[in-house]
């Protein structure tokens, strides 16, 4: 895909990087088949290819309207489309640039900004989110039905036990943001399964949100700080010079896993963290990858 950058972006690093990502796209449309928002809406503008064209238009004209913002906002950042792209288009990275540039072009209404601020400052803070969830569960019977549906019952989030003993083989597990409150049984189940295979999954308390919440809500600096905090928390356990370093960092939420894999790329410019961030990316594994390699006999 040929892109003629508008003068606003011609000499910027973001514009040139976005152009490189765009140039790999051959508009074949294979990615549409794996995009949940396109499958739901059947609207090309809610597909990866459609969003790629919207970002191209922004880069070439130097402006975009609220409709473009709506279609980019609707993207789940799941990156499922990347798995079916024959040209290896780095859609997730392109989208981050597109959203960031658009944010500078297209101011949001105050209520929308307030909602995004609220999301960033609650969802990415596990302790605060856990407290709010408990309050919501307490008042759940009094709330309107459509809000009740969004609050899991106490029974649904009941904590199921995980093994307390440890094996010599260890892997770290990302507890993330809302998962430890909203679906605590997921990591507990992962711990039980891997324990049977002779691996202990270890949670590090000081680690938290992977950074995706802030990063994808256009607070990229805060997202990078989330990543640095996790690296600091994990480093004593993954330092390659340590004889007891953990083998991997496991994610049981695919969106968070996609973010961990990108730590090395996103912190490449940071001389203090770039090597450590690359180590995190190298160690990041989805739990399904680990299970595929283990012997179940
Ligand atoms: S599959 Fe890849 S190359 Fe084809 S339209 Fe989608 S992003 Fe472009
Ligand atoms: S990241 Fe997910 S929702 Fe967004 S375009 Fe790709 S497949 Fe669709």
**Helix or strand run (H / E) with residue 257:** helix 254-261
Residues 174 and 264 in one domain: yes
Note whether residue 159 is domain-resident. Answer: no
pLDDT of amino acid 159: 66
CA of 125 to the centre of ligand 1 (A): 35
Residue 134, domain member (yes or no): yes
Domain containing 86 — which CATH number? 1.10.1060.10
Q: Please state the domain count of the chain.
A: 3
- Is 81 close to ligand 2, i.e. is its CB under 6 Å away? yes
| Nearest-10 Cα torsion for 228, 261, 194, 234 | -20
Query: Are 222 and 125 in a shared domain?
Result: no
Q: Indicate if 101 and 114 belong to the same structural domain.
A: no
The verdict on 76 and 192 lying in the same domain is no
Q: Does residue 15 contact residue 37 with C-beta atoms inside 8 Å? A: no
pLDDT for 149 equals: 83
What is the span of the domain harbouring residue 68? Answer: 7-105
Looking at the structure, do residues 87 and 136 belong to the same domain, yes or no? no
- Which of 54, 73, 76 is the pocket-test mutation for ligand 2 (most atoms within 8 Å of CB)? 76
Per-residue pLDDT reduced to its tens digit, 29-61? 999 999 999 999 999 999 999 999 999 999 999
Give the mutation target among 77, 83, 85 for probing the ligand 2 site: most ligand atoms within 8 A of CB: 77
Distance from the alpha carbon of residue 200 to the mean position of ligand 2, in angstroms: 33
Asked whether the predicted pLDDT for residue 295 surpasses 80, the reply is: no
Distance 48 CA to ligand 2 centre (A): 6
**What would the pLDDT profile of 156-206 be if each residue is shown by its tens digit?**
767 667 777 788 899 999 988 888 888 888 888 899 999 999 999 999 989
Question: Which 8-state DSSP code applies to residue 107?
Answer: P
Q: What ipTM does this complex have?
A: 0.98
CA pair distance 225, 205, nearest whole angstrom: 17
Owner of token pair 């399964």: 193
What are the DSSP calls for 19-70, one per residue? HHHHHT-----GGGGG-HHHHHH--GGGSHHHHHHHHHHHHHHS---HHHHH
Instruction: Compute φ and ψ for 98, nearest 5 degrees.
Output: -60, -45
- When the pLDDT of each residue in the chain is averaged and rounded to a whole number, the result is 91
Distances (CA, A) of 40 to 35, 75, 216: 9, 12, 21
Greater pLDDT, 7 or 183: 7
Residue nearest to atom 3 of ligand 1 (CA): 25
41 and 80 in a single domain? The answer is yes
Q: Looking at 91, 118, 148, which one is the last position of a domain?
A: 148
């Amino acid at each position: 895909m040929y892109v003629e950058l508008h003068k606003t972006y011609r000499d910027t690093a973001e514009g040139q990087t976005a152009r490189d990502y765009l140039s790999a796209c051959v508009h074949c449309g294979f990615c549409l088949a794996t995009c949940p928002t396109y499958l739901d809406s059947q609207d090309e503008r809610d597909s990866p290819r459609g969003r790629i064209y919207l970002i191209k238009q922004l880069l070439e004209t130097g402006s975009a309207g609220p409709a473009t913002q709506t279609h980019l906002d609707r993207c789940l950042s799941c990156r499922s489309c990347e798995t079916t792209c024959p040209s290896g288009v780095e859609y997730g990275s392109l989208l981050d640039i597109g959203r960031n540039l658009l944010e500078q072009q297209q101011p949001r209404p105050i209520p929308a900004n307030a909602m995004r601020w609220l999301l960033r400052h609650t969802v990415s803070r596990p302790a605060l989110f856990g407290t709010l969830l408990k309050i919501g569960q307490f008042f759940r019977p009094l709330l309107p039905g459509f809000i009740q549906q969004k609050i899991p019952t106490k029974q649904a989030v009941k904590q199921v036990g995980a093994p307390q003993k440890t094996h010599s083989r260890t892997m770290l597990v990302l507890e993330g943001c809302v998962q430890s409150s909203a679906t605590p049984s997921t990591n507990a189940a992962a711990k039980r399964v891997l324990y049977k295979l002779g691996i202990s999954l270890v949670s590090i308390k000081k680690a938290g949100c992977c950074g995706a919440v802030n990063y994808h809500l256009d607070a990229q600096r805060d997202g990078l700080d989330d990543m640095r905090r996790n690296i600091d928390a994990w480093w004593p356990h993954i330092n390659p010079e340590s004889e007891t370093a953990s083998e991997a960092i496991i994610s049981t939420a695919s969106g968070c896993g996609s973010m961990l894999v990108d730590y090395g790329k996103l912190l490449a410019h940071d001389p203090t963290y770039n090597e450590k961030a690359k180590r995190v990316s190298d160690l990041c594994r989805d739990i399904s990858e680990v299970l595929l390699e283990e012997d179940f006999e």
